[in-house]
Every structure is written in C-alpha cells, then in structure tokens.
Structure 1
C-alpha cells in the first residue's frame, strides 16, 4: 500500500482532535500534531491539548515537545515533521496529521520557500518601531520596499509585516522575490479531510469551550507563564487577553468575552483559508462512518 498522510483540518473548537483519535484507533495508526502552540510545554488548557486519557488512546507527536523560549516556526516544523513522518512510515501505512495552524499544515503538504535566517537585531528594531509608531509605520515601510507583497499580505498582521520587512532589510531584495510558491513533491500520498458545521453551532461550541477552559484553570495557567508574556509563543488567544487582565487593562469578565470573540474570529479566518484549498473533502464532525469509508476507498494499493 502507498503511504498516506491523512490530514484532518477545520476551524478551532470543531473537534479535530477527538475525530483524529477515533480515526487513529480505527486505522491503528498515530497522530502528528500541526498546532503551533500545542508543541510548547506549559500551554495545555489554553491550547486545548488532548487530555492524558485521550493522549493514551493513540500515540501523538509534537505535543509539548519544545520550550516556550524556543524560536520555532513553520520552516522548522516542516523539517521536524517530515523527519517524523519518514520514521512513522517505516512501520505504518497511514499517518494522521491534524491541527489548526494552516501554515504548518501547508509546510508539510506544499513546502516552505527557502528564506534567510532571522537577524535578531533587525527584528528587535522593527518590533520596537511597531510598539512606538504603530502598525501603519510598518505598512508604509513595506509598501516602499516591496509593493508586490504589500498587495498580498494581511495588513492587520504585524508578525507578517515584520517578517517581510526584516528580509527586505537583511538582503536588500523584496520579500516577494523569495516566495516561489512551488509545491514540493512528497514521497507519500496526501489525503485531506475538512470539518465544518453550521456557523452558529460552531460559535456556541467555542463559547462553551472557553468557559470550560476557565473552569479547568486557564487563569492559573496564564499566571504561571505571565513573567514571559513578551515571548512570541505566548502571543496567543486565551493568554494575551488574560495578560491584559493581569495588567489591569480589562476586567476578568471582559477578558473572557475577548477570548471568545477572538477565538470566533480566528475560526472564521481558518475557514476562509481552508476554503481556498480544492483538495479538501468536507464533512461534519459527526460523520465518522462516512469519513472512514471515504478514507478507506482512497487508500491506494
């Protein structure tokens, strides 16, 4: 049988982890996490890491594998994930990859363009500029240095703007010149499953999950990492809103409301991204039998 990477995608809070565990048990395989925050130790409740009981039902990879102090990105994930996939396929015919970090999933399925390493001094200068002068300063600078990428980038995302600008300043070349966007050929088959449901139902699930996280101790977890709030790994929905509460900027009630709102916004952003991928086959989370049948029919001998 040809080796197959089964990719389970969908918006946050829809049940990717639960479904993936059921699929892993059925196909007697393992799970590779493609979540850019679940890989950090100390971030469990706020990143919805599967419970110990769930983790015991199927072997998982790249969960709590790194320190919050590590400078981790999609390029490193591509390298680590491909190495793990190769090792898993020595003993397995099917491997499941799931997670809500779309860039990480694309890094494995399509590949990341080769780009210069980070210059920490340039990044610090750009970060300081952002904090002092605001995001409009970054936008204008990018428009001047790389008008082509300026037309494509999410102009509300300071991390993307800073990354593009640091490449421009480091190399003297437009960031867009490094973005070949050529899909790399992988030595395994890739089968993509997408999960979706009625929007109102999804939003209700997200709101309920945030309440459950608070009951499970999210505030205490956030306090334990608060001294490191400046780290990029902690610039994450669920933590940054509580950091604002700890700083006295908002009430606890407002912080929880913001977590729910920002999580719903992130879910919308994920769905917008995923709908552009014509290779995804869509199901609802409850359609386990249909998904199993579909996967089985598409495993190539």
Structure 2
C-alpha cells in the first residue's frame, strides 16, 4: 500500500474533529493537528481544541506545544511536521493530518522554498520595532527591500510582512527572488479529503459553536490574554472582538455578533482557498461510509 498521509481539511465548524477520531482509530494511527492557533497553549476555548476525551482517544501532535509569545511560521511547521510524519511512518502506514489552516496545509503538502535561517537577534529587533512603531514601519521597510512582494502580500497579515522583511535582510536580496513556487516531492502519497456542508447548515453550526464557547468562558480567556493583545497569534477571531469590547469600543452584544460574523467570513475564505486545489475530494461529514470506501480504494491503487 505504501506510506500515506490523509489530509482531512475543511472550514471552521464543519465537523473535522469528530470524524478525525474515527479515521485515526480505524487506521490505528495518530493525528497531526494543522491548526495555526490550537498550537498555542493559552488559546483553548476560542480555538475549539479537541476535548480531553478526544485527545486521550488518539495521540495528537502540535496542540498546545507553544506559547503565544513564541514566534512560529508555516516553514517551521513544514519542517517539524515532516519529521513527525517520518517518525510515525515507522510504525504506521497511514498518518492523519487534520485542520483548516490553509498556509500550513500547503506548506506541508507542497513545500516552501528554501530560505535562510533567521537570526534570532534580528527577529527580536524587528518584532520590537513593530511593537514600538507599529506594523506600518515594517510595511515601509518591506516596500523598500522588496517592492514586488510588497505589491502581492496581504499587508494586514503582520506575520507574513515581518517574515518577508526578515528574509530580505538575512539573504541580502528580495524575498520575491527566492520564491520558486515549485511543489516539492514528498516520500509518501497524499490523499486530501475536504469536508463541507450546505451554507445555512454550516453557518448555523458556527453560530452555535460560538454560543458554546461563550458558555465555556471565552470572555474570561480573552480577558486573561488582554495584556498580550499586541501579539500576532491573538489577532484571531474570538479574541480581537473581545479586546475591542474591553477597550469600550463596542458593547458585549456587538462583540458576540462580530465573532459570529467574522467566523462565518473566515469559513468562506477557507472554502475559497481550498476550492483552488483540484486534488481535494469533497464529502459531507456525515457521509462516512463513502469517505472510508474512497480512502480504502485509493490505498489499493
């Protein structure tokens, strides 16, 4: 059959976690989380981390392994996840990757161009500058160092802007000149399963999940992280809206409304991204019989 990586992806709230446990148990394997926020230990409620029962049912990796104070990017995830997959493939032919973080999934499946190792002192200097002068100062620096990438990047994504500046300064050349966008060959087969629901069904699930988060104490979790609100991991739906509430910019009801709206918008963004990938085979989460049949059939090819 050969070594395989099953990638179970889909928008927030679609039902990946429940199905992933069943798939992992069926194949007697482990789960690698591909969620760029569940990796931070301080963010539990607002990131819908699997329950204790789910985490104990199947071995999980890359959940609560970092602090929001730690710098982390998709290139680091690619390298660390590849190492973990190789390790797990020693004892299991199938490994399961689960999540909805678009950049992380692409980094692992397609690879990221080779870039220079970033000096920790340079990173600290730039992060301090961004904290003092704001992200606009880092944007201006990128515009000078690499106007080509400046014109392409989402300038509101502070992490990507900062990373591009780091690479420019370490390499002594524009970040855009180092990007080949050529997929890297992996030593295992990749099967991509996309989960989706009818829009009204998905959006209703998202709204109800926000209600559950609020009942579990999302406001208190956000308040405990308020002093760290300037850190990039906390520029996240569910936290940034409460930070505006704490700053008296909006009231509680508006914060909740915005969390639900922004969660739905993020799901739409995820689906738009994933639909560009023709390798993804789509299913409704409840269509378990056909999902397992498809996996088994692909394994026999």
1:127 and 1:162 in contact (8 A); partners too? no
**Which residue does the alignment assign to 1:226?**
226
Deviation at 1:42, TM superposition (A): 2.2
2:109 aligned partner: 109
* Structure 1 residues 68 and 126: CA distance shift in structure 2, 3 A: closer
Q: CA deviation at 1:61?
A: 1.1
- 2:6–2:95 CA contact under 8 A, matched in 1: yes
Q: Normalising by structure 2, report the TM-score.
A: 0.90
Equivalences for 1:1-301 in 2 at 5 Å? 1-116=1-116, 117=118, 119-120=122-123, 121-126=125-130, 128-130=132-134, 138=139, 142=142, 145-300=145-300
Displacement, 1:247? 2.1
Give the distance between the partners of 1:264 and 1:173, measured in 2 at CA.
39
CA contact (8 A) 2:75 2:107 kept: yes
Cα separation, 1, equivalents of 2:147 and 2:42: 40
Taking structure 1 as the reference length, what is the TM-score of the superposition?
Answer: 0.90
d(CA) in 2 for partners of 1:61 and 1:141?
36
Structure 1 gaps, min length 5: none
| Aligned length in residues | 297
Q: How far is the alpha carbon of 1:141 from its aligned partner?
A: 6.1
Q: Please list every run of 5 or more consecutive structure 2 residues that lacks an aligned counterpart in the other structure.
A: none
Structure-2 separation of matches of 1:213 and 1:171: 43
Query: Residue deviations 1:184-206, cap 9 Å, x none?
Result: 11111110001112122211111
Q: Distance in 2 between matches of 1:298 and 1:171?
A: 42
CA–CA distance in structure 1, aligned partners of residues 7 and 255 of structure 2? 33
Contact 1:32/1:62 (<8 A) preserved:
yes
* SS of the residue 1:13 aligns to: coil
RMSD across aligned C-alpha pairs, in angstroms? 2.1
